Structure 1
């Protein structure tokens, strides 16, 4: 006998009295357990969350539900004696009194988008009373099966928002209220965030911010704003926009966090990831890498990269859920003060969400500021100490996951995340990876086969022999004159991969001296999948372009302090015995050295032409900043440009400038360099 037949039979047994769907389904479950009709558990419900709002609008349960909703909603969501009306016509967009909203809900019915919310608010002060029949002899701990509780407790169902999502949506709805009745420019939430932003920008103290709130409330009694700084901060905190301050030892040796603190620390990164799925549009975009990406073998997105594919192949359980998030970590240091003579360093650690399409993943609103390290100096190798909370959370997101509500499917799921790689400049790579980027073994690709030498006069390390990366039949491999005076027959360097090598140590006077370029084991190896990542640490191309641009412009224009063609460099060439035409010579009086002009040296007229090309370039709107402000015609130099300006210089402008002012044998390599860099983008 099917469950519908059982319902009909039970209705006939009760003299034709109609039962609601939930009670009938409960009877079926108990009948299937062999208890029979007379052994059922009677459940008294004041209002059935899944039923009353679907009943006819003239029915008694529907009218009672609307009254309960208005009684519970008005004390919390009203402004004055009005509230947003959730009927079909108003759609939560018009303000009305309680009586008028009652009439609208009875006449027009509720808007389907707000039906679940109306049910929840109406049942807020109601409880489910469970009574047992007199002849029942079961224990209080008796249950009816795996899914019975889900029929009566809607919050336990994976369909619909979970508790965190409900709380978040509740705060959003509350924040959408106008600042005061009739206000159209500001909502309560937008005004609080705007005011809080001004506090941060102008350095208003907490007490001053609280006094300002009191003054606004006294001047505008109808304004719906918090009365204290803590109340305003809690509004922002409940939306997941807060931060946690974790103190560190002055010597950067430990954090006062986790077991070293009385209370456990929590970070807000996971909640930011959950928020991605609380919007239907954004939740759909989070699946772009799997459903919207064009898969033709070309590299357009990190999902096309070998690192992404290798992680998916090794961990199929993780990759089977397209909503699981792949992250990148970017870190760099800067001085937040405009006067650079102040000793201070700030290191933001930012997470990049690669599930999003490429035109969105790098937008400011989609970046997650997970950690902000601020102090009098750079954390250097001790940066791992400050990343402990982040790594702990990444481990939890990988091994356990976090229950997340997906607005697109209206279900909750277990969200997991993995870290694909880090992005930094070259000094930052040393801090994150543990590989020293200074000294004889500075190259993380060549590692122990790095070709390096110390330049005696320039007092720095120089890294040579790049021709080994050329094709075996490339003519430059046999060119002695233009390079180091030797031919190059060696092959490619095997990429350093896998696990961290064992350190070779020597004991000298009770001190341990290490010959390994690794100065530490990176904290990223605490992630169980990190050792299997194909590309663990990446360099930021724009940082490299900025450095190359500085050296090129400084050398071509012979800018003091920035040119690489100076007396020390010429003496090093003489020491190496190469490029004899560039060796310095004694002056006629024999008291000082003179250097001959190199092939790339320009006259003042050529420098003026070079600078005028950059100065007068007309660029499309929005493609770059005002580059002409960086060109100083009188001093014949270029300075004050940013990383993106250097990016634009190297890709588009430098080729025109060198073609106009330099010889072809010098201009052609620069033109090819620009084409090579454009190939990355």
Structure 2
């Protein structure tokens, strides 16, 4: 019987609510919150565990969710790890309460029979052996922590709070002294080795501080950069040199720059050691609805083109398709320090769309340190990743699949990159500024230099419209001309390879770089070293959120006439006059001939209209999780909007776009009837 239909005061109903809350948070919770399905919240608002439980007991479930609530509360939704025979776990698994602990639980819940171990390769056998050893209790009778989970948790605290290695060892000694029966490693080195044996380690690769080369592969033993001649090691002061000469202890050299590289192959192998995760790795082929609608990257032309060009790779559904994303950020959380660290991330597209962008499924590949961005020289730091991708494409790697209980040769390919517009130029090698700044129009870019604004303006966007579109013949609202040009054909990968066949890259920040003014290419991208890269239909994607942020910033600055952010200023009006369009907006000389008078544009607002506009944004209510608090960015008295984060701008965009569309439709109706 469905307990959700019973009276709310009955013991069975209260027990069912507790089961729903437990299973619901384990399977559908985000952090410490879950959508509340009570009559009041109707699955719209997120609440903590206690609040959801109280709402269901006091308010009752929403009628349409009764069957769903009952189904979630049943035993089939309980995580297997919660019923482990070895020990009882709390809500955070083995006391970790983080994504690493989830990975450990995945390995616990997929025990393999002895007969199945005959199908494992050496790496899989070692991993399962380490997991079995990690199941040892922290002390006799422990039901909260295992030996491995406690060491991992303590190591995380060291990284978060900045413990020294000696402090870590002292804490271990103190715990062993206070609790003699505790099963802990004797020192920090032993604890680190215990974690390192799990296999998800990273490599420290020394780099030239001028981004010329990596001390890697055949150059790993070099001490001086072959390009700029700068030392591999940091210089030591003369005073310190005197001290070091008197000290007979072993001297350690400090590298000038260190790149962290996280090997890809062991991380891909680890995905198939979990039965559940291994099954999800074939979702794009076995679980996807193939009805012609675009729901997943596998539905896109780029994916299908890749499969058609390389059918042998496409035959194995377990082969991994990856996307690469890169951008810079300031790790110090303050704008007073100029610093740019660039992480390079890999996205696993084999998974279902609701799991692809989960943080635990994003693979950190390379961490490029600052303080300056790598720019064009990012190819220097991508060499280890490209070498590994080439090996995964050509040779593959022997991998054990826990779902099918067999060993197969795993291959992987890189589908495309994802970045903002400046990052597009960094990764592709095409310049994103100047007269040929549009990578889509390439050599057919229509650009004009604005003399007064002192910038390049890109025109003739109407050529992407159908040949018979009415906007092509509209001279009043655009540049005063009829658009007759057609949409340019995109540059194919094979054409670019032939075009840049004799191009020689010149990496290094100190080297003088002479660039042909008519050549839009800054380098030949390292991605063309991949055997399949030139066959891709699409090689680089733009991150829409960054573009939306810039557009919304300019729209708001222009509508509210915010100084320094508006695009409607005197120089813009003079450029309109220079181009001979929008005559009503041309500036007019004042009576004394020393100043210009600017007429109001159709989008200019009065003081009262600006206050109303800001008030609408301040009082806007958007769905939970859609945007941050917009009201904090609105300055009603000054009629300004500032401090826009990406999430805030997205919320503002959701509010402003309907307003702009409504105003446009209203003006069209007014022009027809009045």
Class of the TM-score when normalised by the shorter of the 2 chains: 0.7 to 0.9
Cα distance change of structure 1 residues 640 and 189 upon mapping to structure 2, 3 Å threshold: farther
Report the equivalent of 1:300.
295
Report the equivalent of 2:666.
664
Is the 1:658–1:667 contact (alpha carbons within 8 Å) kept by the matching residues of 2? no
Matched, 1:229 2:188: yes
Matched, 1:257 2:260: no
Is the 2:206–2:214 contact (alpha carbons within 8 Å) kept by the matching residues of 1? yes
Higher RCO by CA contacts (8 Å cutoff, separation 6 or greater): 2
Cα displacement (A) at 1:330? 0.6
Corresponding residue to 2:639 among 631, 636, 639: 636
Is the 1:613–1:656 contact (alpha carbons within 8 Å) kept by the matching residues of 2? no
> What secondary structure, in the 3-state scheme, does the structure 2 residue paired with 1:461 have?
strand
Matched, 1:626 2:657: no
Corresponding residue to 2:547 among 533, 544, 549: 544
TM-score normalised by length of structure 2: 0.73
CA distance in 2, matches of 1:283, 1:310: 25
Cα distance change of structure 1 residues 480 and 660 upon mapping to structure 2, 3 Å threshold: closer
Matched, 1:202 2:172: no
Corresponding residue to 1:365 among 352, 360, 363: 360
Q: How does 1:269-418 map to 2 (within 5 A)?
A: 269-418=264-413
Cα displacement (A) at 1:350? 0.4
| Structure 1 unmatched ranges of 5 or more | 1-88, 96-110, 120-153, 669-681
CA-to-aligned-CA distance 1:64-109 (integer Å, 9 cap, x gap): xxxxxxxxxxxxxxxxxxxxxxxxx9944489xxxxxxxxxxxxxx
Report the equivalent of 1:136.
none
Is the 2:386–2:527 contact (alpha carbons within 8 Å) kept by the matching residues of 1? yes
> What secondary structure, in the 3-state scheme, does the structure 2 residue paired with 1:555 have?
helix
Report the equivalent of 2:595.
592
CA distance in 1, matches of 2:192, 2:588: 70
Q: How does 1:490-639 map to 2 (within 5 A)?
A: 490-499=485-494, 500=496, 501-502=498-499, 513=516, 515-639=518-642
Cα displacement (A) at 1:326? 0.4
CA distance in 1, matches of 2:649, 2:109: 54
Report the equivalent of 1:172.
131
TM-score normalised by length of structure 1: 0.72
CA-to-aligned-CA distance 1:642-668 (integer Å, 9 cap, x gap): 223323332x31145447888934999
Cα distance change of structure 1 residues 622 and 267 upon mapping to structure 2, 3 Å threshold: closer
Is the 2:272–2:400 contact (alpha carbons within 8 Å) kept by the matching residues of 1? yes
CA distance in 1, matches of 2:526, 2:84: 55
How many residue pairs get aligned? The number is 521
Q: How does 1:206-225 map to 2 (within 5 A)?
A: 206-225=165-184
CA-to-aligned-CA distance 1:610-661 (integer Å, 9 cap, x gap): 11212112223233322222222222222223223323332x3114544788
CA distance in 1, matches of 2:555, 2:669: 12
Larger radius of gyration: 1
> What secondary structure, in the 3-state scheme, does the structure 1 residue paired with 2:499 have?
coil
> What secondary structure, in the 3-state scheme, does the structure 2 residue paired with 1:605 have?
helix
> What secondary structure, in the 3-state scheme, does the structure 2 residue paired with 1:370 have?
strand
Cα distance change of structure 1 residues 479 and 166 upon mapping to structure 2, 3 Å threshold: same
Cα distance change of structure 1 residues 660 and 496 upon mapping to structure 2, 3 Å threshold: closer
> What secondary structure, in the 3-state scheme, does the structure 2 residue paired with 1:328 have?
strand
Q: How does 1:171-190 map to 2 (within 5 A)?
A: 171-190=130-149
> What secondary structure, in the 3-state scheme, does the structure 2 residue paired with 1:245 have?
strand
CA distance in 1, matches of 2:125, 2:640: 59
Matched, 1:419 2:414: yes
Cα displacement (A) at 1:526? 0.6
Q: How does 1:105-124 map to 2 (within 5 A)?
A: 116=113
Matched, 1:653 2:650: no
Cα displacement (A) at 1:597? 1.5
Report the equivalent of 1:488.
483
Cα displacement (A) at 1:559? 1.7
Matched, 1:441 2:436: yes
Cα distance change of structure 1 residues 512 and 484 upon mapping to structure 2, 3 Å threshold: closer
